[in-house]
Amino acid sequence: MRAALMYAAGDVRVETVADPALREATDAVVRVVAGCICGSDLWPYASKKPSEHGSRMGHEFVGVVEEVGAEVSGVAVGDFVIAPFVVSDGVCDFCREGLQTSCRHGESWGGPGVDGGQGERVRVPKADGTLVVVPAGFDEKLIPGLLSLSDVMSTGFHAAKMGRVSAGQSVTVIGDGAVGLCGVIAAKLVGATEIILMGRHTDRTDLGLEFGATHVVAERGEEGVARVLELTGGDGTHVVLEAVGLPQAVDTAIRVVRDGGVISRVGVPQDPTIAFGRREFLRNLTLTGGVAPARAYIDELLPLVLDGTIEPGRVFDRTIGIEEVPEGYRAMAAREALKVLVAM
């Protein structure tokens, strides 16, 4: 079968690899219907050191179950399933608490001995814990939306949940990438009435306005901060969803959040430290967020995708085949594409 591997920064190749097979009795094999490229894949695409053996890529996919191990009971051959972006056993204390990203037996797609979602088939470890079955009979047009639950929509929802966004609150979303836009959807879903989207790509922020943003701030840095403060009577918003991860975005978040407010970050932090000292202490700011346990949210979000309440699938603005994955990376890195779907 064909699958994408990354060998170094800027060097993604599609190669023929061994077909996956069941290894453990708790495994399933899934034929991927749609995978995608993640904003977080762009970090190694910009910086990965050359390696002789490439890394299998892709941690978001939906597909059809082709085989299940003897101990798998929750999914069956023929089921259409969503794979969250980490493998989890579903039974440990962390999984039961809804923090599957800290599962005691968790694994990562593309990790040692684990397939990636940018490939035609995937062996899914701990299939019962990991996969979510989509009820049969859905419209195929919903596949991008279902795929978004693997990561970006669940991540946006995580940001809102960790930020404890509640009805009537004001929210700033920093970043107009797919996660930021899903953060807008999530903020609206949980009742925010003022949603300020900070981003400078008009096509993306236009989509953000359709998703529920009430204001767009295209300015960055000092000017961006001033604009948000102007929109909020000088106070900032109750919650900031930070979906970038760069130091400047974090700095902006701190400056546009209201006293007593919450910065919920879902952009992978690119700096090991954060300026969060006495000044932030005196303002009673909370810093939260993290890698999203997508598995915890899919049960809640899936019906909303199926009935059209939310349309996170609209963040995909380009569809390619498996052979075009290298071009997909290039387009996303060049910001020509917002999010690229790989149809197998």
Query: Which residues would be at the binding site for a second copy (CB under 8 A)?
Result: 94, 97, 99, 101-102, 162, 259-260, 265, 268-291, 293
The single-letter DSSP state of residue 50 is P
Our CB check for a second copy shows the closer of 137 and 277 to be 277
* Residues 225 and 256: beta-carbon distance below 8 Å: yes
Long-range contacts of 317-323 (CB under 8 A, 24+ apart): 317/203, 319/343, 322/2, 322/3, 322/4, 322/14, 322/118, 322/119, 322/120, 323/2, 323/14
CB of 76 to a second copy, least distance (A): 32
Our CB check for a second copy shows the closer of 191 and 303 to be 191
* Residues 317 and 12: beta-carbon distance below 8 Å: no
What distance lies between CA 137 and its chain's CA centroid? 25
CB of 116 to a second copy, least distance (A): 19
Q: How far is CA 65 from CA 33, 75, 102, 274, in A?
A: 10, 8, 25, 43
Our CB check for a second copy shows the closer of 283 and 330 to be 283
CB of 245 to a second copy, least distance (A): 8
**HSE toward the beta carbon, residue 19, CA cutoff 13 A:** 8
Our CB check for a second copy shows the closer of 216 and 231 to be 231
CB of 291 to a second copy, least distance (A): 5
* Residues 220 and 228: beta-carbon distance below 8 Å: no
What the block records as the tokens of 247 is 């130091």
**Whole-angstrom distance, CA of residue 216 vs CA of residue 176:** 10
CB of 215 to a second copy, least distance (A): 21
**Whole-angstrom distance, CA of residue 296 vs CA of residue 32:** 22
Our CB check for a second copy shows the closer of 127 and 162 to be 162
* Residues 94 and 103: beta-carbon distance below 8 Å: yes
CB of 248 to a second copy, least distance (A): 15
Our CB check for a second copy shows the closer of 101 and 172 to be 101
Q: Which amino acid is at 271?
A: D
CB of 253 to a second copy, least distance (A): 13
Our CB check for a second copy shows the closer of 21 and 275 to be 275
